[in-house]
Chain A
Amino acid sequence: MKLLSIENISATYGGIHALRAVNLHVDSGEVVSVLGPNGAGKSTLLRVISGLVKPEPGGVVSFHGRSLIGVEPYKIARQGIAHVPEGRQIFPDLSVDENLEVAGVRIDAGKRKTKTAEVYELFTELATRKKQIAGSLSGGEQQMLAIGRALVSDCELIMIDEPSMGLAPVIVMRIFTTLRDIMESKGLTLLIVEQNARLSLQLSDRVYVLSQGEITLDGPVDLIKEDEEMRELYFATEK
């Protein structure tokens, strides 16, 4: 069943044609990766879905069959789409607890409590820093908090923008194993945008390759399992 569906979406960002006629869909319970080098338009894609960037007219973005175009970002979030933005964007002056709390505005207080407890169980590093100001966390902990916020919101779809950015390999491993655990135990639907292809491919059912704003390749993960092809993707030869 199609949970999220994107058809013919184009968007400009700062004068650049960041996305050109992109088609993409995510089914319920799936993990989908969008790979591509920097500047390929990956972040813009997520920003279009969460309503932060307005696409050009003529395209379709729908969730559960309902159009998201022109809907205010906070209303999209309340429909059950959590966007973990690039660079994590935790609220630096709010405590860890408070960061999680404000992420759960769409659910009632009781549910928020259980959800928060679940997050602390997953990320024990955070549990010891509940009252600490989030800005004082390390990069890895901030990423965990950012993912934690998405989990607290009790959403149906989590979109993660480059969870590995700027993090040491050990931490990246930790993040990805946790993501895998979450998916196995909860059956969440995930849309990951990544540059770090090797890890995200191991997690994914399907993959899209975005290059210069266009989807150049899509299909099941086996399609580009070969390392050589990934290398080509980044150190691309043909134009």
Chain B
Amino acid sequence: MLGLTDFIQNLVAGVSVGLTYGLMGLGVVFLWQSINRINFANISSAMLSVYLFFLFHTWLGLSMLLSAVLAIVLVAVYGLGLRYLLYEPITKRGGARLEFVVATLMLTVFWLTLIIAMFGGMPRRFPPLFGDATQFVRFFGVGVRAIYFYMIVVVAVLMTLLHVILRKTLMGKMLRATAQSKETAQLMGINVNLTANLAFVMSTTVVGVAGLLLGPIYFVSPVLGGGAIGIKGFAAAVMGGLVDPYGAILGGVVLGALENFSTLFISSAYRDVISFAVIAVVLVWKPTGIFNWTSKKE
């Protein structure tokens, strides 16, 4: 039988991992809202940030914090690169969504093969950015793995920050206005070039952060850039109808919890199948998302 403590521990584990899926979902939401595209290359942003962090810390000997910051900054710049080296040239040549999908998918394959060619397929130790991964923090008598604690804290801070940016600053409001109607935003004098850049940068950055958070669990390994984890980000985003950032986070949490309990009760072998089934079922049953409070009109 499952005791209360076990239940809580599993719940916390599921929810915290789910939060990182939610972050990846945010990456999907930001881009979908601003340019109506899904960027499959963003699947690899999580892997890129982890390997960059590893590279800076282990190879160049920089401090962990500095390495993490540098990795995130580079991933943010990578977002800009995606816009100017991929999105713009394709759009300029009259390429539609499909061309963008194929190009970004191929870019994911590119990064994956590059990482495997350079570092090999075997996982490497993730530098203890969040302290000892095996340590426990005690809350009301329940031991929670420190890493989960960090995940919750980091995502909470990040979400608060995003909330403030989107709701309280002029830049955030401009971003939301552009998402609702690019044309009208232009008529208001909003520089839509700038808001698009911001969307690209934000979308890769959140996924980069998610990568660092997942590092202690998946180690420095190409698994982070493989299909499965990225797809969970999509599943989270789909639950928010691809337009609701809060919906994406909640979607990720539900997905994470679902996964964790299915590992517990069914089998870990079918864990991933659940996320994939969620995507299919939600999209077929309610394509506008089940956690969608943003009333995007068709």
- Does chain B have a CB within 8 A of A167? no
CA distance A44 to B176 in the complex (A): 27
Report the bound CA distance from A149 to B187 in whole Å: 10
In the assembled complex, how far is the CB of residue A157 from the closest CB belonging to chain B, in whole angstroms? 13
Q: Is residue B133 within 8 Å, beta carbon to beta carbon, of the partner chain?
A: no
Q: What string of 1s and 0s marks CB contacts (under 8 Å) between A47-80 and chain B?
A: 0001110000000000000000000111001100
The listed residue (B173, B174, B187, B189) touching A85 by CB distance below 8 A is: B187
Alpha-carbon gap, A50 to B186, bound state (A): 9
Task: Name the B residues within 8 Å of A82 (CB-CB).
Answer: 187
Assembled-state Cα–Cα distance A89/B180 (Å): 10
Q: Which residues between 89 and 112 of chain A lie within 8 Å of chain B, taking CB atoms?
A: 89-94, 98-99, 101-103, 105-106, 109
Known contacts A92-B297, A93-B296; A77 and B188 CB within 8 A of each other: yes
Q: How far is the CB of A152 from chain B (nearest CB, A)?
A: 9
- From the candidates A50, A74, A77, A91, name the one contacting B180 in the complex (CB within 8 A): A91
CA distance A91 to B179 in the complex (A): 9
Are B186 and A103 in contact, with the CB atoms below 8 A? no
Which residues of chain B come closer than 8 Å to A50, judged between CB atoms?
Answer: 187
Q: Report whether A52 and B176 are in contact in the complex, using a CB–CB cutoff of 8 Å.
A: no
User: Which chain A positions have C-beta within 8 A of B184?
Assistant: 85, 89-91
Contact with B along A23-60 (1 / 0, CB 8 A): 00000000000000000000000000011100000000
For B181, list chain A residues within 8 Å (CB): 89, 91
Q: Is there a chain B Cβ closer than 8 Å to A139's Cβ?
A: no
Number of A-B contacts (CB under 8 A): 77
Residues of A with C-beta under 8 A to B176: 91, 93-94, 98
Q: Is B99 interfacial (CB 8 A cutoff)?
A: no
Is there an interface contact between B180 and A149, defined as CB atoms closer than 8 Å? no
Interface magnitude class on chain B: 20 to 34
| Distance from A116 Cβ to chain B, minimum over Cβ atoms (Å) | 13
| CB-nearest residue of chain A to B170 | A101
B295 touches A93 (CB 8 A): yes
B6 in the interface, Cβ–Cβ < 8 Å?
no
Q: Are B188 and A105 in contact (CB under 8 A)?
A: yes
The residue of chain B having its C-beta at the shortest distance from the C-beta of A105 within the complex is B189
- Residue A153 is within 8 A (CB to CB) of chain B in the complex: yes
Among candidates B183, B190, B294, residue contacting A93 with C-beta atoms closer than 8 Å: B294
Given contacts A101-B170, A102-B170, A135-B295, contact A77 B186 (CB under 8 A): yes
Does B192 count as interface, using CB distance less than 8 angstroms?
Answer: yes
Minimum Cβ distance to chain B for residue A195 (Å): 21
| Interface-central residue, B177, B188, B295, by most chain A CB under 10 Å | B188
Taking the complex as formed, is B191 at the interface, i.e. its CB lies under 8 A from any CB of chain A? yes
Q: How far is the CB of B260 from chain A (nearest CB, A)?
A: 33
Task: Report A's interface with B, CB cutoff 8 A.
Answer: 50-52, 72-74, 77-78, 82-83, 85, 89-94, 98-99, 101-103, 105-106, 109, 135, 149, 153
23 contacting pairs across A/B (C-beta < 8 A): A73-B183, A73-B186, A74-B186, A74-B188, A74-B189, A74-B190, A74-B192, A77-B186, A77-B189, A83-B187, A85-B187, A89-B181, A89-B183, A91-B180, A93-B176, A93-B295, A94-B177, A101-B173, A102-B173, A102-B177, A102-B188, A102-B190, A135-B295
Q: Given contacts A85-B184, A102-B190, could you give 7 more A-B pairs where the C-beta distance is less than 8 Å?
A: A72-B186, A73-B183, A90-B184, A92-B297, A103-B189, A109-B170, A149-B188
Which 4 pairs of residues, A with B, have the shortest CB-CB distance?
A: A77-B189, A73-B186, A89-B184, A78-B189
